[in-house]
Structure 1
Amino acid sequence: MKLLKKNYNFASFEPFIIIAFWALLFASPLLFGRYEKQIEWDQVFMVWINYLPLLGLFLINRFILLPKLFFKSKKLLYFVVTSFVILIIATGIYAFDKNNDIPNIKPQTMEFKKGNPPPMHQGRNFPPPSDQRLSNSPKPIPLFANFLILAVLLVGFNAGLQISMRWANLEQEKFKIQKESVENQLAFLKNQISPHFFMNTLNNIHALVDIDTEESKKSIIKLSNLMRHLLYDSEGKSTSIKKEIEFIESYIELMKLRFSSKVKINVNIPSEIPDKLIPPLLFTSLLENAFKHGISYNKPSFINILMHFTEDKLVFEIENSNHPKKDDEASGIGIENTKKRLTLLFKNNFDFKISETKELYKVNLKIPL
């Protein structure tokens, strides 16, 4: 079962976005230029030369101004320096354009012989001379003004892209830290079985060796299987329901070594087990809590364990006689750890209820399959 989905490294797409942007910009005179027969490379090269100041501004902004000023909490200084750099480049373009301005060619006008009026066409004069038409046509935007407009857009694009990618990186780091935190919490919470259990079980097996050798051998095998499940099978994020049930049964059999036949322990688990996976060691704290606080050596005691399945849920119930101990606070820690782990694993998609009276303590747990 996957707790958290893999997050993609969106920052790795940044170079492709930049390359695509500049490739499209430099290809624009080839893609959108209006040429009658063939590409006029002189005009294309002239457009590319006009793009070089923009490329220089982009590189300065990306590798110097943004990392050294903007992302170092010097935003006001960044805007001042960036504006100054843009104005310096625009001034240079203006001076270069003025010094290399091509003089206007005086348009040729039609000369008519003296005494001959201008030709008429159906009562209308010819269009006005070409110099008059040219004076009325809109003038192109100067290069420096065009640079200023594109420079502002380019700086905004560059800063926006950098901010977006840094935000994506921060979100990814936050996601990674959160994932590691969840995994560490789960690793801690799922291994809450008390070390005293192993010590008591080994002592019981040691006492059983002289009384019943065969039974002691079986107990050692069960303890070995239980420890193997704790050390190896529970390392993954999920385990089969069958293995978890085998763990529960081994745990109960070993706990029976400590108690006499006066303690009634009933286990009701169906023979047909769904072939599905669940998080390991979900029921360990509940079992330990029942045996630790549900059994008295002076009063009749019982523990009833029930597990059954629906189409999409596993239902685990455990009830025991209620014999409060002085260290009830410690038992509450196990229950709280179980709640925390269930919340980390299933969010709100589980049901965990506890009911308690003077004689009975009951836990009902439902988890999705």
Structure 2
Amino acid sequence: MQLIIKNRVQIVVHISIWILLYGLTFYPVLNDARPIPSDVFPKVIVIIILFYINYFYLVPEYLLKKSVLFYILVSLGLLAISVLLINHFYEPKFPDNFFFNRIRPRGFMIMPYYKLFLNLGIPYVISAILRMYVEWKRNENLRLSVEKENIKSELQFLKAQLNPHFLFNSLNTIYALSVKKSPDTSEAIVDLSELMRYMIYEADKDLVPLNKEIDYIKSYIQLQRLRLSDSENVSLKITGEDRGRAVPPLMFISFIENAFKYGTDYKGKTYVKITLTITDTSIYLNVKNKIGIFREPTKNSGIGLENIRNQLKLIYPGLHKLEVENDGKDYEVSLTIYQKHSSL
């Protein structure tokens, strides 16, 4: 379908060019009811032939392949031969102010050849410019398409990394519950199954409803609460309207996951504060946790965090702000996503 549309657009462009080139030329003659000179139509045919030889063959085969000197020599040769042939067979007088106007020379004069060379050369140059623009546009569309595919492939790769990472951490949580023979183990398994369902059926999409992403976060936090011996200082505060808003799936979970991973000390005490603020123009996430003893995050704090950094660069270039603060006691992540009016 797109190919058909492109072909139609090219046809319209070519028709428009010929109308502009010769509509104004023939209008004075037709308007004054003057006879059209006999050599006009042969010249037009020659111009059209030169135009499309240049458009379909010479420009793509030589000019665009950097054989510029050869292209110029061949073009000048074609134009010169065409001028000589036309002047050999046709030497009529032309009305004043006519596009192909020339006066029958007395003896040898250069002006008629010069004017005819311009008459043939101008459409010839236009054909070269038009073909170069078409090729540039085609290459630009191809570049954008490849770039888009590369971004899509990279995002899929990042998500493929994230999912096993998340599953590994969640299974560790359930394992910890089972070791303690906690009655919450079965509930944790149900929570994990819901989380996995979301990851399987939603995470492969470009965008998901924000309310679904929030439900996913709530389920994850609930799963974490089950494994904690002290979850009193775990909080989630959400403000703003999430209806009609959309975000890339799994965008926030790595920040929250790292907060739980490093916000729990060896005694099991956890301090994690999560705030999600939704406005008309942005989504703001703040995650703060105490740095547990012997659990201070390092530069290589996990695949998930670096994964999300890369996704933000790909999806929201210039439209996000990520700040990380670490004073040795508290670790705080603030993420602002400026909405591109993404909605579902």
Shorter-chain TM-score tier: 0.7 to 0.9
1:58–1:222: structure 2 CA closer, same or farther, 3 Å change rule? same
Aligned to 1:19: 15
Q: Report if the CA contact (8 A) 2:47-2:124 is conserved.
A: no
Aligned to 2:142: 173
Q: Distance in 1 between matches of 2:37 and 2:209?
A: 68
Corresponding position: 1:279 with 2:248: yes
Provide the aligned length of Structure 1 versus Structure 2: 318
Q: Distance in 2 between matches of 1:66 and 1:53?
A: 18
Shift of 1:44: 6.3
Corresponding position: 1:65 with 2:33: no
Match of 1:301, SS state, is strand
Q: Distance in 2 between matches of 1:327 and 1:269?
A: 24
Aligned to 1:32: 28
Corresponding position: 1:51 with 2:44: yes
Q: Report if the CA contact (8 A) 2:174-2:185 is conserved.
A: no
Aligned to 1:113: none
Task: Map 1:112-131 onto structure 2 (within 5 A).
Answer: none
Q: Distance in 1 between matches of 2:21 and 2:280?
A: 58
Shift of 1:292: 1.9
Shift of 1:216: 3.8
Greater radius of gyration (CA): 1
Match of 1:352, SS state, is strand
Q: Distance in 2 between matches of 1:22 and 1:366?
A: 54
Give per-residue Cα distances to partners, 1:111-136, cap 9 Å, x unaligned.
Answer: xxxxxxxxxxxxxxxxxxxxxxxxxx
Give per-residue Cα distances to partners, 1:283-340, cap 9 Å, x unaligned.
Answer: 1111121122222224743222222334433332221121354882331654343333
Q: Distance in 1 between matches of 2:218 and 2:52?
A: 68
Q: Report if the CA contact (8 A) 2:262-2:296 is conserved.
A: no
Q: Distance in 2 between matches of 1:363 and 1:188?
A: 24
Task: Map 1:1-369 onto structure 2 (within 5 A).
Answer: 13-25=9-21, 30-34=26-30, 40=35, 43=36, 46-97=39-90, 139=103, 144-190=113-159, 192-193=162-163, 194=165, 195-204=167-176, 212=183, 215-259=184-228, 261-262=229-230, 264-270=232-238, 273-275=241-243, 276-298=245-267, 300-323=269-292, 325=295, 328-331=298-301, 334-369=304-339
Q: Report if the CA contact (8 A) 2:230-2:268 is conserved.
A: no
Shift of 1:180: 2.0
Under a length normalisation based on structure 2, what TM-score does the superposition of the two structures give? 0.79
Q: Which runs of 5+ in 2 are unaligned?
A: 94-101, 106-110, 340-344
Match of 1:50, SS state, is helix
Shift of 1:159: 0.8
Shift of 1:55: 1.6
Letter in 2 for 1:56: I
1:271–1:313: structure 2 CA closer, same or farther, 3 Å change rule? closer
Q: Which runs of 5+ in 1 are unaligned?
A: 1-8, 103-137
Shift of 1:279: 2.4
Choose 249-258 or 25-34, whichever is displaced more.
25-34
Letter in 2 for 1:60: I
Identity rate of aligned residues, in percent?
A: 24
Q: Tell me the C-alpha RMSD between the 2 structures.
A: 3.3
Q: Distance in 1 between matches of 2:82 and 2:129?
A: 22
Give per-residue Cα distances to partners, 1:3-45, cap 9 Å, x unaligned.
Answer: xxxxxx8786333222222345455565331565x674xx266
Q: Report if the CA contact (8 A) 2:322-2:334 is conserved.
A: yes
1:228–1:156: structure 2 CA closer, same or farther, 3 Å change rule? same
Letter in 2 for 1:269: K
